[in-house]
Amino acid sequence: MELAISSDTGKIILICVSAISASLSIAGSTLIIYILSHAGWRKLARLRNRLVFGMSIIDIFSSAAVGFSIILTPQETECSVGMGNQLTCNVQGFFIQLGFAVPGYNAMLSLYFLMTIRYGIDQVTVAEKYELLMHAFVLIPPLTTAIIGAAGKMYFSETANCWFGDICQSLGNCVNGDIWGNGFW
């Protein structure tokens, strides 16, 4: 859902709200990383802490991308509100798309607790057998789609953060109807 921003006041409010919420998220994730890494390998020896560590790293990048809000969007059409260009839009879209790994890490934490608490599987066994699969399952899909979006210059927005969008539809000058006809699939 895209937010229609019709006035300068609306733009300023959107930028401020995005910056404040992103700053809080970045501060929280940074604190988690500090707590986990400050204790050395003692805390990172547990799988659950490594999952939270990975989630926090991804969250910092994703929150930073969201925090810049409409500033990074390009001024491609008369409806566009941003001050960026296609490169800044691609960077923002890439990290927002990569941010979909955060709910994946949350799901892996739930799965970890299900296996260790409900089914009584030893934490070391879960780490040895499933950790690589957990990280792969979480990171590969969002990273793949983020790379495809950036390589295909598929990130665009007229009114909100850059994400998968179609500038051809906005400008009305699509050769093949839309950008998806020129995709990798």
pLDDT reported for residue 6 = 57
What is the per-residue pLDDT across 79-100, written as a single tens digit (0 to 9) for each?
Answer: 666 788 889 889 999 999 999 9
* More confident call, 24 vs 2: 24
Q: What is the mean pLDDT of residues 114-133?
A: 96
Angle in degrees, 0-180, between the axes of helices 47-67 and 86-98, rounded to the nearest 10: 150
Q: How far apart are CA 175 and CA 121, in angstroms?
A: 56
pLDDT over 70 at 74, yes or no:
yes
pLDDT over 60 at 178, yes or no:
no
Residue 124, classed as helix, strand or coil, is helix
Q: How far apart are CA 149 and CA 86, in angstroms?
A: 12
pLDDT reported for residue 1 = 41
